[in-house]
Amino acid sequence: MNPNQVPDAESRYLIPTYRRPPVVFTRGEGAYLYDSNGKRYLDFAAGIAVNALGHSDPAWVEAVADQASRLTHVSNLFHTSPHIDLAKRLVENSFADRVFFANSGSEANEAALKFARKWARTKHGEGKIDVLAFEGGFHGRTMGALSLTHKHRYREPFEPLVPGVTFVPFNDLEAAKQGITDRTCAVFVEPVQGEGGVRVADALFLQGLREICDEHGALLVCDEIQCGLGRTGRLWAHEAYEITPDIMTLAKPLAGGLPIGVTLVTEEVSRAIEVGDHGSTFGAGLIPCRAAQTVFDHINQPDLLEGVARNGEALMKGLRALLLNKFIEVRGVGLIIGVEFDVSVQPLIEQSLEQGLIVISAGENVLRLCPPLIITIDQINIALEILANGIRALDWKV
Ligand code: PLP
């Protein structure tokens, strides 16, 4: 199809779940995307924190092409090896003892919810089915994951959802203490809330959640789908808190743009799960798992992780230096950064796109910056300049 016809064709043929700007991307390389007119854009969205290695990373391309030429799918009824080579890496580099492979973040959280319920039933008997989750938290759009997602607008049209979920304010340990009971089987938390406006968990909050989970015999589930795998400058976001969860979920960046979701658990949780308890036709796909090995090996390097931390600090410093009258706060860690304004950020997103910079929002008033982890300091400076120009054009500067 002629790229110029795409926007109209989308509005004709697709169920309208997304609003998109009138640009059609046709190619990507490193931290850059190119549209159908050949215009180049610096990509500070990375497919919503997915393209950690940027676009068309040569080792990733080679792994995908090689696996596609060998074998793509046989189902989970038979043995293959790429998912095992990936599982081994994940287990050997985390608290987890075992993993389950799915195809998205929502599915990884669905599995976590099911595993927590089954673990609680096996260990404690009937009735321990409740979940504690947090205001601003986002865990996905499928019915189970949506039940753990706080935003009223996403939930309300589809109710009733899974019962037994209580929401309390994020970073409020006292509220969490009030909200948890002996019927709670799991506490789901993002160490850095992404969709909820880039909010970083306080150390005492996350450490306190670990304690109250232990007191009430509940599992601590860290959803690191957006903030995990190097984005905070550490391999896992929870490492900064010196705690270990019982379950961690991963997805977005792991396969470098191919669909994958992983639920990582301790041996104790795994012991409650039997053959037939859960499954997925496409889970543990050979191409995503092969691609993910490349992504994992690239990210799990001290140099890369140090670069993320260093460049993230430079980006935050640069943003704070813009000194805006409409700024409320710049927050984040590593390369997941939110800039809260007292107005909608949509005009700035449009201005930036016009100037060749892709940025997204996290809620109405928060600009979200989550570039590929391979971003360079020069590219960060270019992005800061484009943002400064956009802000000036909008007359937002003091
Ligand atoms: N959990 C978190 C923290 C997320 O940011 C997302 C997606 O944005 C999800 C879960 C859902 O992942 P998916 O869209 O792959 O189902």
The pLDDT of residue 24? 97
Question: Given the CA of residue 252, which atom of ligand 1 is nearest to it?
Answer: 15
Confidence tier at 398 by pLDDT (50, 70, 90): very low
The pTM assigned to this predicted structure is 0.98
Q: Phi and psi of 148, rounded to 5°?
A: -95, -10
Q: Position of tokens 């030429």? A: 69
Residue range 271-292: mean pLDDT, rounded = 98
What percentage of the chain exceeds 90 in pLDDT?
95
Give the CA-trace dihedral at 92, 93, 96, 99, to 10 degrees.
-70
Query: Does the beta carbon of 250 lie inside 6 Å of ligand 1?
Result: no
- CA of 361 relative to ligand 1 center, distance in Å: 15
Question: Given the CA of residue 195, which atom of ligand 1 is nearest to it?
Answer: 5
- CA of 35 relative to ligand 1 center, distance in Å: 26
Angle formed at CA 266 by CA 265 and CA 267, multiple of 5 degrees: 120
The pLDDT of residue 325? 65
- CA of 139 relative to ligand 1 center, distance in Å: 5
- Interval 338-377: pLDDT, tens: 999 989 999 999 999 999 999 999 999 999 999 999 999 9
- CA of 105 relative to ligand 1 center, distance in Å: 5
CA dist., res. 273 & res. 293, Å (int): 26
The pLDDT of residue 397? 58
Query: Does the beta carbon of 195 lie inside 6 Å of ligand 1?
Result: yes
CA dist., res. 170 & res. 205, Å (int): 9
Query: Does the beta carbon of 391 lie inside 6 Å of ligand 1?
Result: no
The half-sphere exposure of 360 on its side-chain side, counting CA atoms within 13 A, is 18
Token pair in block for residue 102 = 């799915």
- Interval 161-217: pLDDT, tens: 999 999 999 999 999 999 999 999 999 999 999 999 999 999 999 999 999 999 999
CB atoms within 10 A of CB 326: 18
Tell me which residue has its CA closest to atom 10 in ligand 1: 139
CA dist., res. 200 & res. 50, Å (int): 19
Query: Does the beta carbon of 257 lie inside 6 Å of ligand 1?
Result: no
CB atoms within 10 A of CB 70: 11
- Interval 315-340: pLDDT, tens: 999 999 886 667 789 999 999 999 99
